[in-house]
Structure formats: structure tokens, C-alpha cells
Structure 1
Amino acid sequence: MNRRPTLLVAAAVTAAAVVSLSSCGGSDDDAGSKDGDKIAGADSGTEKGASPSPKAPGDGVKRPEIRLPKDVHNVFEGGKTGDPKKDAVLADNERWVNSLIEAVTVKAKDHPALKFYAAGDGLLSSAEYVQGFQEKKKSFVGTIRYYDRQVTMLKDGVAAVTYCKDGTKTYPKDLKTGAVDRSIKGSASDYAFVNTRVTKNAEGIWQTDSVTSTTASKKCTP
């Protein structure tokens, strides 16, 4: 079993999985891709004592707070492009990633941020990813780095966000015992190339509505 979370591949899951998205736990493999754990940077969130989600833009939208455990971090590189529209896309993409990791690593009855920043197939894929952890009673700790982030505006209200993900600094956590396995070394499979489509909704939120991921991508592996 892979010990690290891989970012998801869009797949079919039941609507019930989307609605539940409750307490965390599960396996790294089940989600179909690896997605990481550290959330630091402009959109980091943390549980008690950790840093909260980044300051919301002054757009008048009430955004759900995202908080991650102290031992879980996402590091986002290259958050500013100089183009306000592209910067807004990247910011909401970060929030989606953070909300996804929060749903995996923070035990809660519900995770409103994930349903706020994802929609359509993107929400279904996110739910499948979280459900994979829940079924195996697993989580993870550590840091994930997101780099080579690019935004392409496709048409009015639609864009593509691509990036590389390095999950070599994450470690599996057993939710039953709380034990963390730090013995596993990183490998090429811990790197992934992620391609997402985002669509601007009526509130002005760039929601992730499609996600694909290629693990051991030569584009992202050092």
C-alpha cells in the first residue's frame, strides 16, 4: 500500500459520499492519486493552534474557514502571476487543495470548505479521495509541496490550473492507534502532475470541477 496520499483521478462515486465527507481516515491508494499533507503558505489551515486559512479577499463573499492539524502542511510555490484574474484562480485552487486535505486529516462531522471550493466531477473525485482514507482508517502527517503552477484562461469563467506535487515528506498515520510510520523512503511515485479545470460560479468562486493526476510524472520527478 502506498503510504502517501496521491491527488485524485476523476472517477464515479455516489452522491452520498459527497454529502457525507465526514470524519477522516483511509488509505493513500484508494483515492487513485496522491495528495499531500502540509498546508502552509497563503492558504494554510490548521486545527487548534495551527495557522488559519489565508486572509479572504475583500469580495464580500463569506468563505468557510480551513484549519489543518499542526503536523500537516501544504506549501504552494508561485502564488502571484501579476495578473489579478490568474492570481484569483490560483488562490481558490489553493483553497480547494487545503479543503481536501482538511477533510482527510481533520475529524469533523462535516467539511463545508470542500463543498464550497469543488463542484461537479471535481467534488465527486474529492469525495472518493476522502472516502478512501475513511474506509482504511488512515490519515497522514507531513508536508506536501506544490510547484510549477500554471494558469491558462480557457474562456470566460473557465480556466485550467496545472502543477506538480511532491509528497515525499508525508507519512501514513493509523487513526486507531495514532501511530505514524516514518520509516518509508520517498520514491518517484510520490511525485505527481495534476491537471484541474476550474469554473467561476455565481458568487465569484473559482471551483475545481475536474481533476486528473499522473503519478511518477517525468515532468515533476527530480
Structure 2
Amino acid sequence: MNRRRPTLLAALTLTAAAALTLSACGSDDDSAVKDSDKIAGADTGGETSVSPSPSASDADGRPKIELSSDAKNVFDYEKTGDAAKDAVLADSTLSVNSVDEAIFKGSTDTKALGFYNTESALSDSITYALGYINKKNTWVGETRYFDYKVNLVEDDQAYVTYCSDESKSFIKNKKTDKVKKTPTTADSYVLYNTKLAKSTKGVWQTTDIASNRGSEACQP
């Protein structure tokens, strides 16, 4: 199977206001984290955002995030024009990216992981990353994230939904260098619902995430 973002994370309860704004609400499935699961992350930029090569830390003290040269995350979304919402989107992608960095570095003791994730999202992401690390696995290829929707319900609380296309990313074993090529199926597309909270440092940290693998809303 293709890489998958974990589905073992805490279920996300959307408020009525968020549910009215967001087009769809996914939920966790009951499967355990497997080799074929994945998390990937991002950067922001112009109207369409693509994950960068290793970058320097920002002036505001944000930790740099370094991804493997043979793994690419493409974040396909347009800026909303609202500064707050755009900040939510940016940090949402960096949250995902921070988990991939832990996988690539073979350690969950990275600055970015706890900087962009907290509460159940952090604990579940650590568990997920360790599933890769303990099996000496990483991933290669490209994952595309698209169809972003953001809802700012309070000054310090927001919800983001998006889809992922994981048909071009695959598990790679570090010891053997073997890549597990797998066919594309409906499960290669996943719907995510995430909750974020603004920290005292002004960072939008992901606190909860839920997924719906094979969601019709994300099929091509």
C-alpha cells in the first residue's frame, strides 16, 4: 500500500459553527498504524505552496524543518487574503511537516515536533513516528495536499480540512534501501479534519486531527 497519514489519532469534534463552514467532516477509522501509513508536511509561499528544501530558522525563533531530498510534499492551496486564516494554514502544514522530519531524522526529540503540535496531536504523532523509526523505515516520492478549507471560530481557535493524494509516495527501508511500490486505490486519497489553537507565542499548534481514508470527497 502507499504511505498513509496515521488514522490512530484522536477523533475531532467540530463545533456547530465549524461544521457549518467546513464542507465535510472526517473521522478516524479503526485500523492500527501500519508501515503504509504516513504523515507529511509543508511550507507556505505564494498562492500555491510547495514543501521546501532544508531552510534556516525564522527570525521569530521558529525551528527549521529539514526533509529528505528524495521526499517531496506539495501543498496546493490559495491564500485567503485574511492574515489570520493564512497564518492558520501555514502552521497547519508545518505541523504535518514536523512529523515527517522526525521520521527522516529517526528521532521524535526534534524541536519542530513539539513546536507545531500539542495535546493529543503531539502524543499520537510521536507514537506514529516511532512506528517508522523502530522498523527502520522512511518514505520517498511525492504527496500532494489539496482542497484546503479554513474556519477561524475564535481569535485563538481554528479548524482546517484538506485532502491528500498519496499515490506517489512509498515506504522505503533504510537498511535494505528497498522501496515498497504499491498500486493506487481509493485509499490513496484521504480527508483530514484538524483543530488548531494559537499559543502564547502566536503559533497555531495542531491539537487534534481526524482522518477518513478513501473519502469520496477527495477522489479524483
Matches within 5 A, 1:48-197: 51-53=53-55, 56=58, 61-108=60-107, 110-182=109-181, 184-197=182-195
- Aligned equivalents of 1:152 and 1:218: distance in 2? 21
Deviates more, 1:95-104 or 1:34-43: 34-43
Matched, 1:198 2:196: yes
Conserved? CA contact 1:8–1:125, under 8 Å: no
Per-residue deviation at 1:109? 7.2
Matches within 5 A, 1:22-41: 30=33, 34-37=37-40
Conserved? CA contact 1:39–1:144, under 8 Å: no
Per-residue deviation at 1:137? 2.3
In structure 1, the gaps of 5 or more residues are 13-27, 46-50
Conserved? CA contact 1:199–1:207, under 8 Å: yes
- Aligned equivalents of 1:65 and 1:179: distance in 2? 29
Deviates more, 1:100-109 or 1:72-81: 100-109
Give runs of ≥4 in structure 1 deviating > 6 Å: none
Conserved? CA contact 1:36–1:167, under 8 Å: no
RMSD value over aligned CA atoms? 2.6
- Aligned equivalents of 1:109 and 1:87: distance in 2? 27
- Aligned equivalents of 1:169 and 1:97: distance in 2? 17
How many positions carry a matched residue from both structures? 197
Structure-2 change in CA distance of 1:109 and 1:136 (3 Å): closer
- Aligned equivalents of 2:106 and 2:84: distance in 1? 34
For 2:33, give the aligned amino acid: D
Conserved? CA contact 1:36–1:74, under 8 Å: no
Conserved? CA contact 1:8–1:126, under 8 Å: no
- Aligned equivalents of 1:207 and 1:87: distance in 2? 14
- Aligned equivalents of 2:123 and 2:197: distance in 1? 15
Structure-2 change in CA distance of 1:95 and 1:40 (3 Å): closer
- Aligned equivalents of 1:99 and 1:218: distance in 2? 28
- Aligned equivalents of 1:31 and 1:162: distance in 2? 23
For 2:51, give the aligned amino acid: S
In structure 2, the gaps of 5 or more residues are 12-30
Structure-2 change in CA distance of 1:53 and 1:198 (3 Å): farther
Structure-2 change in CA distance of 1:109 and 1:219 (3 Å): closer
Structure-2 change in CA distance of 1:33 and 1:192 (3 Å): farther
- In structure 2, the partner of 1:44 is 51
Matched, 1:207 2:209: no
TM-score calculated relative to the size of structure 2: 0.80
Conserved? CA contact 2:121–2:208, under 8 Å: yes
